[in-house]
Amino acid sequence: MNILGIESSCDETGVAVVSVEGGGVPVLRGAALHSQIAMHQAYGGVVPELASRDHVRRVLPLTEAALAEAGLHREEVDVVAFTRGPGLAGALLVGAGVACGLAAALNRPTLGVHHLEGHLLSPFLSADPPRFPFVALLVSGGHTQLMRVDGVGRYEMLGETIDDAAGEAFDKSAKMLGLGYPGGPALSRLAEHGRDDAFDLPRPLLHQPNLDFSFAGLKTAVMTAWKRLGPAPTEAQKADLAASTQAAIVEVLCTKALRALRETGLDRLVVAGGVGANARLRAQLNAACSRRGVRVHYPELHLCTDNGAMIALAAAMRCQAGLAQLGRDYRFSVRPRWDLALAGEA
């Protein structure tokens, strides 16, 4: 079975084809991606209307490219999957509209996929796929969640952010430091030249006996430290602040992920979402988990940030688990806000 997946929830247009045979391992056959980062950079963040218009321009050529790489003709597509939410409404509508139009023309079923389920399952396309059950640390630009995952569609929320997401903390701090958008990768590059302990930044909720996160206070502390540096901070001071900010975010994420493992008694951790690409987070989690006999799984680096492969994969795994609500009605709606626990609902 060949599943075409279309992702258009934010600032990446991604299309990919994943194939599955029976209960076998899903295989990524072809993928194409266009990032809108360069276009949004001038505005310091994602401009939703520009994002939607760019998805319109990119989605069909990317679909052709993904099919060509897979060596498939469009008639060989069995299911057309798309990101139904959460995300920007206009951007989601583009992917949903194209997916349903294509499926109607081919007389194939469609499947709306939850974006976070895509992130969560993306390590199953890696060379070292996880096994259920596991704890998932989902860290993206819009979400920071710890979940217990017992199988496809069996997700129990253990804790989440009560304000900003981890990626937002990276992005907003980077913006203050004049590092542009998206700030995560830039802040982490600058941090390589700085000292982690140069600034005493807060670790919000670190010692609270729960699995929730809060990053808004950290952002304020970074702003205060930044202002104290005066109008012309040196490169070394900037690097120190970047390193201290990254250290604070990473320490909180690591501590809470380890607590979740302890509380659930599970010995497997999956880290997914854009912030999962962060080298310091990976190094710290790897070290702490190997001391405790916990296996850590990540998606391949190119599948950490948004892409079509994770959407096709989530659809494929839902089909395999008998959980796919395949529709042939071709009317569509999107869910800009959508709880992952309700991902299986039509």
8 is a site residue for Zn ion (CB under 5 A): no
Stretch that binds Zn ion, among 73-81, 163-171, 240-248, 300-308 (CB under 5 A): 300-308
**Between residues 249 and 304, which has the closer beta carbon with respect to Zn ion?**
304
Binding to Zn ion by CB under 5 A, coded x per residue (else -) over 301-340, reads -----x----------------------------------
83 forms bridges with which residues in the sheet?
A: 113
Question: Would you tell me which residues interact with ligand KG4 (CB under 6 A)?
Answer: 10, 140-142, 167, 170-171, 182-185, 188, 273-275, 277-278, 305-306
**Between residues 54 and 306, which has the closer beta carbon with respect to ligand KG4?**
306
**Between residues 123 and 183, which has the closer beta carbon with respect to ligand KG4?**
183
Binding to Zn ion by CB under 5 A, coded x per residue (else -) over 91-130, reads ----------------------------------------
**Between residues 31 and 67, which has the closer beta carbon with respect to ligand KG4?**
31
**Between residues 261 and 277, which has the closer beta carbon with respect to ligand KG4?**
277
Stretch that binds Zn ion, among 87-95, 138-146, 234-242, 260-268 (CB under 5 A): 138-146
140 is a site residue for Zn ion (CB under 5 A): yes
> Which two three-digit tokens encode residue 36?
């809108």
**Between residues 15 and 201, which has the closer beta carbon with respect to Zn ion?**
15
Dihedrals φ, ψ of 87, to 5°? Answer: 160, -165
**Could you say which of ligand KG4, Zn ion, none residue 86 binds, taking C-beta under 5 to 8 angstroms by partner kind?**
none
**Could you say which of Zn ion, ligand KG4, none residue 123 binds, taking C-beta under 5 to 8 angstroms by partner kind?**
none
**Between residues 8 and 140, which has the closer beta carbon with respect to Zn ion?**
140
What is the closest distance, in whole angstroms, from the C-beta atom of residue 276 to Zn ion in the complex? Answer: 10
What is the closest distance, in whole angstroms, from the C-beta atom of residue 231 to ligand KG4 in the complex? Answer: 26
* Chain residues that interact with Zn ion, rule: CB under 5 A: 140, 306
